Chain A
Amino acid sequence: MRSFMRKLDAGASAVAENGLIDRRALLGQGAAIAGALGIAPALATGAAAEPLANAPLADGPWSLEVGTAMRPYQVPSRFEKAVVRSIDNPDNLPRNSRARTPHHHLQGIITPNGLHFTICHGGVPDIDPAQHKLVIHGLVKRPLVFTLESLARYPQTSRIGFVECGGNSAPLFSNEPLQENVQALHGLASCAEWTGVLLSTLLEETGIDPAAKWIIAEGADAPHLSRSVPVAKALDDAMIALYQNGERIQPEQGYPMRLWLPGYEGNMNVKYLRRLKLTAEPAMSYYESRTYAQILPNGKSYRFYFLQEVKSFITAPSHGHVLKEPGYYEISGIAYSGTGRIAKVMVSADGGKSWAQAALQEPVLPKAFTRFRMPWRWDGGPAVLQSRAFDESGAKQPTRAEFVALRGETTKPPSVLAFPSQHFNAITSWAVDAKGTVRHVYA
């Protein structure tokens, strides 16, 4: 059977080795090809292993009684309890708290608000929006203070885009592949529709002293988190975000307002924003001078990395999934770049020896998640699944070997919760063994 399938893959519908299929082969014409070759359609193949599909049709109890009352704010089915963020500080001990997005359970490009990743450095503040103010001062012509009520009257702009922690994917700096799933490895990135006031609109009203090169942004949270942002970014596309996916930003995400810098390191997107000070020099705050500076193999460190570079990872199948039987599966994942749009995503099922171009699901938006898909017929043998993204600037996602040659790796495996360095954007590899078990490998 395996050799037969390999023969099929080498035929008209194969686009790369080890089972990657031309997606057009699945649309009408493909069914004819499969039928002609005596291959059962994908769903029928799967049904053989599923007793439910063979059972006689009958009403379930939910079809024989009246359902429950609605809730003012609806929540997912009780059968979806696994679809939650992972929380690394559930008891709110005196340290940072992180919640990671369960990418392996999600589809499309929009992260639901309840599943959007977040990091807080001093708990989640309980801010009264009627008491919150935003001050813009420093090297401006007219220092101004804005209330939430006044900002809500400004022209609003909506834009879909990702936020990614600079430390997302940091476990891949480990010298050995940590056996962890896509949520643990890549869960500090999410994508939403943000609505608010462009910062450039407010800076038109304060005026800018030509000497201003930086804006020090500060939150109203306990650590008064502070980051320096180039004025150039503020005038380009920075937003004072008030809404996320149509509703007010939730408390863990910066209620009642946050700075949103599309494509820039998550920590700079200051939550609970209360002050913007224009200056000639950066403040060299704790986070920019220590935490978000990246040690290089030569002993020097990068500072002001800012940009979240082109990146992708496969979300299904991924570490922890088990393929029950050979046959059809869709390889799916997300790609994004802080530079602009994703131009293409290549997928490999043989550890990078051969590649095929994945379908990009519309919309393909700049500085936003882009969903890619690739049909795959697993023949039951070993496979190594990889994705590699290219953005419209020409930047391409590096292999892990290329990446660590420049940026280094640990000498011993760290905790999966550790951050040996940041801004990891190399290729992730998932190995499928003959039992269908999927695990994280370096390839």
Chain B
Amino acid sequence: MSTRSAFAALAFTLVAGTASGEGPNLGKPITEGEIAPWDISIMPDGTGLPAGSGTAAQGAKIFAERCSSCHGDNGKGTEFGAAIVGGPPRATLDGGKTIRNYWPYATTLFDYIRRAMPYPQPNSLRNDEVYALTAYILSLNELIGENDAMNAQTLPQVRMPNRDGFIIRFPDRI
């Protein structure tokens, strides 16, 4: 269907005020409460961040137990897991995209750790643990103080150095 006909169809739906009477209508209504266990997206403004809190000291302990086998002692990296600290001041085509020199938003750390890590047991950490690991990584990279707690209020406030380093390639496609 072309964009125009899709918009036309949507407009018809809105005017008719029904759930698309002509369509199959085989989707089952579901509430946001029922979706919550799957709704793990965290937005840069902090939308989606759950209750909970964690510090770098707590995170260091969890990291040593759950993460260092791949990401190395103190996050220095191994053959399998990227280093989460160190690296060059600037990324180039020779490599070196790091959390400190590249990632635009700290919220992405929480989102990615929770949904994808630890690699063999994704989405298994408690929210407090994810906050603690996020705090540990940000602290190792000297982006927050070592005693700063990360939670739904503080994490979106962390200013990443490369936040403004990006150009949208094709703005008219968004």
Contact = CB atoms under 8 A, between A and B. Distances in A.
Interface residues of A, number: 76
A294 B169 CA distance: 10
B116 A204 contact: no
Given A137-B32, A235-B7, A302-B167, A150 B26 contact: yes
A142 B35 CA distance: 13
Interface string B77-119: 0001100000000111111010000111101100110011001
A201 B24 CA distance: 9
Contact of B41 (A206, A218, A305): A218
Dominant secondary structure at the B interface: loop
Contacts of A286: 108, 111-112, 116
A94 interface: yes
Nearest to B27: A144
Interface in B103-160: 103-105, 107-108, 111-112, 115-116, 119-120, 122-123
Contact of A283 (B43, B92, B102, B165): B43
Interface stretch (A14-22, A37-45, A224-232, A247-255): A224-232
Given A285-B108, A304-B168, A202 B27 contact: yes
A418 B95 CA distance: 9
A304 B170 contact: yes
Contact of A143 (B25, B29, B70, B166): B29
B39 A410 contact: no
B13 A207 contact: yes
B10 interface: yes
B64 interface: no
A290 B91 CA distance: 11
A414 B94 contact: yes
Interface in B33-74: 35, 38-45, 70
A226 B116 CA distance: 10
Contact of B169 (A153, A289, A304): A304
B27 A204 contact: no
Assign chain B's interface to a size class: 35 or more
Interface stretch (A48-56, A272-280, A350-358, A384-392): A272-280
Contacts of B40: 218, 224
B174 A230 contact: yes
Interface in A298-351: 299-307
Nearest to B162: A301
Contacts of B95: 414, 418, 420
Contact of B119 (A122, A285, A290): A122
A421 B169 CA distance: 14
Interface string A137-163: 100001111100011011100000000
Nearest to B38: A275
Contacts of A307: 169-170, 173
A401 interface: no
A277 B27 contact: no
Nearest to A203: B10
A277 B39 contact: yes
B112 A137 contact: no
Contacts of A408: 92-93
A8 interface: no
A349 B19 CA distance: 59
B14 A207 contact: yes
Given A143-B30, A274-B38, A198 B169 contact: no
A194 interface: no
B10 A204 contact: yes
A411 interface: yes
Given A142-B29, A285-B108, A286-B108, A135 B38 contact: yes
Contacts of B165: 299-301
Among A154, A204, A275, the most chain B Cβ lie within 10 Å of the Cβ of A204
Nearest to A299: B90
Contacts of A142: 19, 27, 29
A204 B20 contact: yes
A318 B22 CA distance: 53
B30 A137 contact: yes
Contacts of B174: 213, 230, 232, 304
26 contacts: A137-B32, A143-B32, A144-B29, A146-B28, A151-B26, A173-B93, A198-B1, A201-B23, A205-B25, A207-B13, A222-B119, A222-B122, A275-B35, A279-B41, A284-B104, A294-B169, A295-B92, A300-B166, A300-B167, A301-B91, A301-B102, A301-B166, A302-B166, A303-B167, A304-B170, A408-B93
Closest 8 CB pairs of A and B: A144-B27, A150-B26, A224-B115, A223-B116, A200-B6, A286-B112, A420-B93, A305-B169
Given A150-B27, A284-B104, A295-B93, 16 more contacts: A94-B120, A198-B1, A203-B10, A206-B27, A222-B116, A226-B111, A236-B3, A284-B43, A284-B44, A301-B166, A301-B167, A302-B166, A303-B166, A303-B168, A411-B92, A420-B94
